[in-house]
Amino acid sequence: MRDQIAKYSGRLLSDRSAVPGRISFAAQDDVLLTDGDPELARLAGEVLFSLSCLGMVAALPSLPFADFLVRRAPAGETRIVPRDTETRTFLHDIPFLRREELGGDAAARIARLLGNRKGVIAEGLGIFANGPVTVEHAYINYSSVFHAVFVKYLLDVLAEGFLLPGEKEAFEGFRRDWLRPVSAEGLPFRSGPLEDPGEILAEIAAVGRYTVERGLVDSFFGNISCRAGGVVYISQTAASLDELPGRIDPVPMDNSSTTGITASSELLAHRRIYEASGARTILHGHPKFAVAMSMLCEEKDCPVKDCWKDCDRVRLLGDAPVVAGEIGAGGLAKRVPPVIASPRKAVVYGHGVFTVGRTDFAEAFRAMVALENWCREEYFRRLAEKFSG
C-alpha cells in the first residue's frame, strides 16, 4: 500500500488541494502504516486504528475556506451543509471540530465523527477523510470535501461578504496566487470524425487527462464519451479521467449487450444527448465556478424548495442553459438533452457541465473551458458589484 500512499500524496500536490508538507496518510492491512507530516500522520494513524476502514488521509487544505466556514458557522453548529449535488448525494454534510474541541484526545473525537461520515474538518489541522475500501477511496473523500467546501465558500462569500478578520486578504490571495487561467492552449486534439476504435480510445484517454490537468473536475471524476456508428465509447463509472486506458466501455446504442453495466452513471444522459443533438463527442466535468454559479437564482417567492432536482425552469449562465436534475436515472438525463443541441453546452444545477462536439473533442473541451472562464469572471464581477466600496 506504500505505492498507493505515494501516488495519492502526489495527487494532492498536483491538484493543489493540500499544502505541501502538511499531507499525511495512514493505511492498515495487518499492520498500520503512516506516512507524511509527523503530527498529522500520528493523528491519522490513531484515528484509523479505531475505525473499520483501510485508509485515511489527513491534510491541510491549500485554501483556508474550510476553516473560514467553521468560524463563520453559528455557535453551537457542528456541521456545514453544502448544497451542491455531490454533497447532497454522497457526503450529506460535513461535520467539524472547532479548534477548542481539539485539545486532549483529538483523535478520538475525530474518529467518532468519521465513524458516521466520509470527511471531517478539524479547524487548524485540516480535512480528515476515511477510505473504507482503499487509499484511493480516502483521497476521493478528501477531494469531495475540498470541492464541496470550495463551492460553498464561494457562494457564502457572494451572499454575505467577508465576516472574519483576514478573510478578505486571504480571498484576494486565493484569486491572485491559487487560481490559474483555465485554457485549452497547447493541447493537441485529433480531428474528427473519429471512426477507428483504437483512435477513439486513445483520444478519450488523452482528453480525459486534459480535463484533470486543466482543473475541470473535482478530484478526477467526470465522464467522457465518443459515438461512432452504433457504439458509444464511454468512460467507466468511478474511473479517474486521467487514467482511462482499459477503463472505457464500448456500449452498443441498441443495448444488445450489457457489458457496459460498468459504464459511467451518466450513460443514459450521454445516449439521449447523442440522440437529441447528433453530436459525436460528449464531455462532462465539474468545474468549480460553473458549479457555484449554477446555484445562483434571482427568482423571488419561488415555491420550489429543492431547486437542484425539482426546478423545471431553464435559466442561463451567459449563453449556457442551466437545468436541474439528479445524477444517473435521477432526472438529469431527461432535462439536459432537450436544451443542449443548439448551444452545445449545458449546466446542471449544482453539479457540472456537459459540452458536446460535432465531430471531435476539441470543440467540447474548448466550450467547457470557455464556460468555466465566463463563470469565473462573472462570479468576481458580481462579487465586486455587490461589495465594492
Query: What are φ and ψ of residue 20, in 5° steps?
Result: -55, 135
Q: Would you tell me how many other CB atoms lie within 10 Å of the CB of residue 295?
A: 21
CB of 73 to another protein, least distance (A): 21
Determine if 271 is a binding residue for another protein (CB under 8 A). Answer: yes
CB of 174 to another protein, least distance (A): 30
Among 14, 78, 183, 257, binds another protein (CB under 8 A): 257
Cα separation, 365 vs 42, whole angstroms: 42
Determine if 147 is a binding residue for another protein (CB under 8 A). Answer: no
Among 18, 216, 239, 336, binds another protein (CB under 8 A): 239
Among 136, 156, 167, 363, binds another protein (CB under 8 A): 136
DSSP structural state of residue 132: S
CB of 310 to another protein, least distance (A): 12
Among 53, 151, 212, 283, binds another protein (CB under 8 A): 53
Determine if 51 is a binding residue for another protein (CB under 8 A). Answer: yes
Nearer to another protein, 64 or 337 (CB): 337
Nearer to another protein, 39 or 105 (CB): 105
Q: Residue 50's closest CA among 19, 83, 26?
A: 26
Query: What are φ and ψ of residue 328, in 5° steps?
Result: 65, -125
CB of 149 to another protein, least distance (A): 19
- Alpha helices by DSSP H, listed for 220-306, are 267-277, 288-294
Among 27, 97, 120, 201, binds another protein (CB under 8 A): 27
Residue with cell 466550450: 367
Kindly tell me the number of DSSP H helices and DSSP E strands found in the chain: 14, 15
Span near another protein by CB under 8 A; candidates 88-96, 209-217, 282-290, 370-378? 88-96
| One-letter identity of residue 126 | G
Determine if 316 is a binding residue for another protein (CB under 8 A). Answer: no
Long-range (24+ apart) CB contacts under 8 A made by 27-33 are 27/1, 27/54, 27/55, 27/56, 27/135, 28/53, 28/54, 28/55, 29/1, 29/54, 33/1, 33/2, 33/5
Among 83, 92, 168, 344, binds another protein (CB under 8 A): 92
Q: Which residues make up the interface to another protein (CB under 8 A)?
A: 1, 4, 27-30, 51-54, 88-90, 92, 111, 114-118, 132-134, 136-137, 140, 236-239, 251, 255-265, 267-268, 271, 326-330
